[in-house]
Amino acid sequence: DVKVTQSSRYLVKRTGEKVFLECVQDMDHENMFWYRQDPGLGLRLIYFSYDVKMKEKGDIPEGYSVSREKKERFSLILESASTNQTSMYLCASSLSGIATNEKLFFGSGTQLSVL
Amino acid sequence: KQEVTQIPAALSVPEGENLVLNCSFTDSAIYNLQWFRQDPGKGLTSLLLIQSSQREQTSGRLNASLDKSSGRSTLYIAASQPGDSATYLCAVKTSGSRLTFGEGTQLTVNP
């Protein structure tokens, strides 16, 4: 089975801190994604990457950046954390995104609180 | 822009009941539709994926159908159990690798 691992289940940070969220997948997937999930707003795509060092903005990229130096690792960076970035962050991966039968696999999520 | 709606937002049923969850989408030009399960405070687990050329998929007590022309999908759960209690989300893939998610239906199965 595909395993997508997020390094932290819970994080508490201060306003203005630089925050790194790490995600690792073990199935040689091309595509990796970062979503945030908020009550009443559902899942929203922040950034995704379809190859090493490649990235594309999702629907809500403001205040975030990403890094993909190795195929298996995709990092989300909050340059200067703010209280409105308190949320559940979910990482996901898929094989290549070309075939119509490819599933999306999620990590367990990181609940980030910015105080 | 694709929009995905799930109705109802919450559903409570007694154990053993058969139930249907609904998902509708506005753009019928989809590649596939996935149903996911999410337990509280956890990530999403893929349950079923229906390709655009398919009408339905089955896995155990779960059956998902797809009607692209009307922009609808249903997830049928047979003989529900308390362990089925979770939030169920549907998501459609319309272009590239991006999915659009509904907000989910929160299901409670009472013993």
Q: What is the pLDDT of residues B17-50, one digit of tens each?
A: 999 999 999 999 999 999 999 999 889 999 999 9
In this complex, do A42 and B91 lie within 8 Å of one another by their Cβ atoms?
no
Q: Comparing B98 with B87, which gets the higher pLDDT?
A: B87
CA–CA min distance B95, chain A (Å)? 9
pLDDT (0 to 100) of residue B1: 85
Enumerate the β-bridge partners of residue B44. B38
Average of per-residue pLDDT values in chain A: 92
Beta strand spans in B1-111 (E): 4-7, 10-14, 19-25, 32-38, 44-51, 56-59, 62-67, 72-77, 86-95, 98-101, 105-110
Does residue B77 carry a pLDDT above 90? yes
Mean per-residue pLDDT, A42-67 = 93
pLDDT (0 to 100) of residue B95: 74
By three-state DSSP, how is residue B83 classified? helix
Whether residue A92 contacts residue A106, with contact meaning beta carbons closer than 8 Å, is answered with yes
Does residue B52 carry a pLDDT above 80? yes
Q: Comparing B44 with A101, which gets the higher pLDDT?
A: B44
Mean per-residue pLDDT, B85-97 = 89
A98 CB-near residues (< 8 Å, 6+ apart): none
In this complex, do A101 and B51 lie within 8 Å of one another by their Cβ atoms?
yes
B103 part of contact set with chain A, CB < 8 Å:
yes
Average of per-residue pLDDT values in chain B: 94
Name the percent of chain A in helix, strand, coil, to the closest 5: 5, 55, 40
Nearest chain B residue to A111, by CA:
B41
In this complex, do A106 and B45 lie within 8 Å of one another by their Cβ atoms?
yes
Whether residue B11 contacts residue B85, with contact meaning beta carbons closer than 8 Å, is answered with no
Give me the residues of A, 26-65, that contact B with CB < 8 A: 31, 33, 40-43, 45, 48, 50, 58
User: How many alpha carbons lie under 13 Å from residue A110 in its C-beta half-sphere?
Assistant: 25
Alpha-carbon distance A47 to B43, whole Å?
A: 17
Structure-token match 């009607």, residue found? B67
Mean per-residue pLDDT, A44-56 = 92
Does residue B75 carry a pLDDT above 80? yes
Whether residue A82 contacts residue A75, with contact meaning beta carbons closer than 8 Å, is answered with no
